Structure 1
Amino acid sequence: MGRDDRRIVGDLVGAHGQTYADEAGIRLKDTPQPLYRLLVLAHLLSARISASVAVAAARALSEAGLRDPRRMAGAEWQERVDALGRGGYRRYDERTATQLGEGAELLTERWGGDLRKLRDEADGDVSQERRLLQEFPGVGPTGADIFLREAQLVWPEAAPYLDRKALQGARRLGLPDDADRLLSLAGKTEPAVLAAALVRAAVDKDVAEDALHHAA
């Protein structure tokens, strides 16, 4: 019969199904601070920089106390730059420090510092959530996809959210690049966990090869 796609998915999820929020130490809940920290993480991950560096930078910002938009906006620009640098996020640190400050001000002024109010404004329309997220400086289509891909754990209207990067990982593994078929292969796996595993296969050739090897 040849390859077993269900086993490939199972092995991939078992070994690499950690969300980036979890890796960054964000205990994701539908409350203001975790959602804001996820937005910052999505912003950092969307740059042309390694995911490990983006995660480390998100942790460094959190350790510096910049966990909510009020503190992020109130911090000195250099404080944000220094925190990003401690996380190894040096290539884009100055521009990103500016964008984080501007984004925190936007979130505070327009949505009272609470991304749930952005969600309310979208009225359950995921395409509107995606559009509104892109109003934050530095959060383009990729950043919005990252946010919704992970937020689907607590924003169920977004699920299942398998974005282009997740489907790219499926193609690298020779799996169907169709969300419904992938979800069927994944069984009871949370869509966010499946998406995270597929994204890791997309960005790291060794992850894909490991999954294929173990399923052989």
Structure 2
Amino acid sequence: MYINPVLFPQVTNREDLLRTVALFDDDTGAPIDVSGRVLAAPGDFTAAAWVVTSNAVVTASNTQLTIPDYPIADEMQALSLTVGAGLAIAAGAPVTIADAATGLNTMTGYVTSYAPATGALVAQIGCAFEFEIRGHTHQHGYGGGYGPSSFIGTDACEAPLISAQLGGGLSLIDIGRIEIRIPAATMAKLRHRTYEIAMSAYDGYDSRQLFIGKLPVFSGGTRLLPLQTPQPSNPYGLP
């Protein structure tokens, strides 16, 4: 996929970009759960008593938290809770948060920060995603201002024209399925040309490129905003 970028279906710059990315295990063909949570029953689960485990540390939290069912935006990207103070919890360490009553509703991720003095802990649950659309360039045969590894540090990397993350253009809609929705007002930044398009995932420890590709964009045939509502005296909008 990296040597031969995916060619995405063409769109216009006067419509929403709506695509679904599906992630499957190469060996089993099963969808990959990137949400980092398990629910004992369908629907959101809310509780105020949790068991928090990070490596050898096991502590409790009375913070009210909600484990969301699909669709999921950025609710768990910076989950804040209070646990015991003075614990040997390090940033970057794995963490599991399970409901104290049954242990069947869980969230798994990595510690973003922990304050020993107060017990304030912030965790990233599941994967974070970065989606970008960049201008196409032929420098070294690569696009978006990026070049081969031997040229890192010398290529001029331009900023993405459009970027999206969970809660801002991206959402998890099912197991292993990520929806990309870029509104027409944002797509209007693009011109009639082919753009570089890419997406990566970060689970708090590992980063993985999900795809790179090319997105043909055509100039739309209408104005960006809908036409004004005709007046009753002039229902056909005649001048």
Both proteins in one fold, TM over 0.5: no
More helix by share: 1
Query: Considering only CA atoms, is the larger Rg found in Structure 1 or Structure 2?
Result: 2
TM class by shorter-chain length?
Answer: under 0.3
Using structure 2 for the length normalisation, give the TM-score.
0.26
TM normalised by structure 1 equals 0.28
